[in-house]
Chains A and B, each alone.
Chain A
Amino acid sequence: MALRSRARSTRLLVVTLVSISLVTITVDYRQGDEGPLAAASEAALVVLTPLQEAVSKVTRPIGNFFSTLIRLPSIRHERDILAERVKVLEAELSTTQADADRLAELEALFQLQSGLGPKVETAAAQVIASGVSNFEWTITIDQGANSGIAEDMAVISSGGLVGHVTRTGPSSSVVQLIIDPDSFVAGRLEVSDQAGLLAGQGTDDLQMSQLPQDAEILPDERVVTAGYRIAGVGQSLYPPNVLIGTVSRVLDEDSATEKFVTVRPAVDFSSLSLVLVVLSRDGQR
């Protein structure tokens, strides 16, 4: 009967598709970053990112409008606080306003670069898309291999550490943010100089572990990248002394050997626009 054969052919179709999916999962799981699927993944980047750039350009004002609408109450509060601060700052300003302005302009321009050191090469990029999944925290930027960007390069913004490059296409790259649960950053407390490991927690604050039990932690203490280098072995993914965030809470874990701390990231990942990719440190890539 036509109906029954239709149901059967549908079932056959579904079984086929499910099998292909399972094979794909297995092949990709075992092959990791090499293999035909990785090439297809790069192809997807090449095809999709120009479209994402175009859409992003058009929709950024719309998205800004809606997110501003939602954040209106807190924005009003922020504005009141800022208005107060502006009054205070204006009062402190001297008559050398013109020179101060020029200096500020130049400093902002070179702020990131000089903060890193004279031997650091960087490439600026614009964020054109965010990750597609609710379980991965990534962004796509509009510079890729053609600009000298390669995997595992650190990415920073004027606010602080953003993440590192995980995939590159010819003219776009995917950056894994430090808030991704798969991300681990070696960091140290700025004042006490104690080092620990910061793990991403998605939308929650980062969690810093492996701090010695007797570590002294000040409230709102800044945490920066540790940027270690082991001669003959290698160096950390991220350059040293880049701001990661500030301590938000000290957790009362019962562990006798280490202390846990949550760190609020310095960068506002939902409004990232311009970033710098660190191409090389000390002339080495």
Chain B
Amino acid sequence: MRRVLLLAAAILSALLLQTTIFAEINLLGAKPELMYLITIAFAMLEGPASGAITGFVGGMAQDFLLDAPKGITALTLTLLGYAIGMARQYIVSPSPVLPVVLVALGTFAGVLFYGVVSFLLGQLDSTWLYLLRVAVLSAIYNAILTPLVFPIMRRAAQGSRSRRVVRW
């Protein structure tokens, strides 16, 4: 139950912050992609299943704020959450830079994927160059925000994890 609440709180915060405070603070014209950040963080902390669910719910929530067809962000983030969760199982580096790198790469790949799917649906009105620029800038912006966001999420996730003696 606490996990659900944590997820809901994280997704809601991401949406609110993205549309209010980060509307004015942008990096060379690009906004961060907080939902991508939340999804990757959850996937890193809780595994591929949690990553996929976070991505799906968060993506759907974000989609309903768009005028574009609903579901594209959900699709992108579900796959992204799953991929990061799976990747995390194979990467054993304890480096503190790992979250930043995964967030940067994940955001970049995710935004590109979103652009490609939008293009296939005929919904992409920007040029490929713009897509690339947004992917790079939002990846950097997300990476900058990771050291601030990730520790908070790690603490919250650990707090809401049920206490079990044996963990698979």
Contacts and interface: CB of A to CB of B under 8 A. Distances in A.
Interface residues of A, number: 59
A6 interface: yes
A40 B118 CA distance: 21
B52 A13 contact: yes
Q: Which of B55, B69, B82 has the most C-beta atoms of chain A within 10 angstroms of its own C-beta? A: B69
Interface stretch (A104-112, A118-126, A130-138, A218-226): A130-138
A174 to B, nearest CB: 7
B161 to A, nearest CB: 16
Interface string A56-90: 10011011101100100000000000000000000
A108 to B, nearest CB: 24
Interface of B: 12, 15-26, 29-31, 33, 47-49, 52-53, 55-56, 59-72, 74-75, 78-79, 82, 111, 115, 118, 121, 124-126, 130, 134, 138, 168
A45 B25 CA distance: 23
A198 B150 CA distance: 43
Instruction: Provide the main secondary structure of the chain B interface.
Output: helix
B19 A130 contact: yes
Contact of B72 (A13, A25, A138): A25
Interface string A1-33: 011001001100110011011111110110000
A170 interface: no
Given A13-B52, A44-B65, A132 B18 contact: yes
A202 B25 contact: no
**For B48, B49, B64, B134, which residue has the most chain A Cβ atoms within 10 angstroms?**
B64
Contact of A174 (B17, B61, B67): B67
Interface in A155-208: 166-167, 174, 176, 180-182, 202-203
Contact of A14 (B69, B82, B126): B82
Contacts of B12: 51
A131 B138 contact: no
6 contacts: A24-B60, A24-B70, A40-B70, A60-B20, A63-B25, A202-B29
B19 A132 contact: yes
A37 interface: yes
Contact of B23 (A28, A40, A180, A270): A270
Contact of A56 (B20, B49, B65, B118): B20
Contacts, number: 150
A41 interface: yes
A132 B15 contact: yes
Contact of B75 (A9, A18, A55): A18
Nearest to B62: A132
Given A14-B79, A133-B66, 5 more contacts: A2-B168, A10-B49, A14-B82, A41-B70, A134-B134
A227 B48 CA distance: 54
B41 to A, nearest CB: 18
A44 B64 contact: yes
A3, A28, A70, A135, most chain B CB atoms within 10 A: A135
A29 to B, nearest CB: 5
A129 interface: yes
A125 B47 CA distance: 44
B130 A202 contact: yes
A24 B20 CA distance: 27
A132 B20 contact: no
Contacts of A28: 69-71
A136 to B, nearest CB: 6
Query: Would you list the 3 A-B pairs with minimal beta carbon distance, nearest first?
Result: A181-B125, A24-B71, A130-B23
A48 interface: yes
A160 B47 CA distance: 50
Contacts of B56: 17, 20-21
Contacts of B22: 63
Contacts of A202: 29, 126, 130
Contacts of A13: 49, 52-53
B21 A21 contact: no
Contact of B70 (A3, A9, A37, A63): A37
